[in-house]
Amino acid sequence: MWGDFQFNAPYSGDRITELNGVSLPQSYIDFMSRHNGGEGDIGETWLVLYRMEELQEVNDSYDISDYLPGSIIIGTNGGDEFYGINSSGEFFNVPMIMDEQDITILCDDMEMFAEKVNEFWIINNS
């Protein structure tokens, strides 16, 4: 499922349970406490998951709270696509030229995230 993805060392900083008013799903918190993001080829696309300690800076840099209220960005494909979490705890894809109507919900569990990202790329590149 995660292909050649290279995981980072586990996150060992202060516990982060919310960012910009978005509660982080427990599956994401658990995943990040084991891996703290990483980068690599997951099959259909490249995936970069930001480290926990980078999340606030990344979201502030892209003004995510202005463009996608109730959402945070957790990663990218290394190109022109972001991955994020909304206030309902759903993981989504959105183009970097973002608008709320462009969000594609992928799943609601981090354990299924890589699989659903691959499915998204298969469907959208057929």
Which domains does the chain carry?
6-124 (3.40.1580.10)
What separation in angstroms does the CA of 83 have from each of 34, 56, 119? Answer: 19, 15, 14
Q: What is the pLDDT of residues 69-94, one digit of tens each?
A: 999 999 999 999 999 999 999 999 99
Residue 99, pLDDT > 80, answer no
Residue 41, pLDDT > 80, answer yes
Structure tokens at 84: 């994020």
One-letter amino acid of 109: D
Give the closest residue to 86 by CA, choosing from 95, 74, 96: 74
DSSP-based three-state secondary structure for 67: helix
At residue 3 the predicted structure's pLDDT band, cuts being 50, 70 and 90, is: confident
What's residue 100's pLDDT?
Answer: 80
One-letter amino acid of 67: Y
Alpha-carbon gap, residue 102 to 19, rounded angstroms: 22
Residue 55, pLDDT > 80, answer yes
Give the closest residue to 107 by CA, choosing from 98, 95, 119: 119
Angle at 70 between CA 69 and CA 76, to 5 degrees: 85
Residue 125, pLDDT > 90, answer no
Backbone angles phi, psi at 78, to 5 degrees: 80, 0
What's residue 34's pLDDT?
Answer: 95
Q: What is the mean pLDDT of the chain?
A: 93
Residue 98, pLDDT > 80, answer no
What's residue 105's pLDDT?
Answer: 93
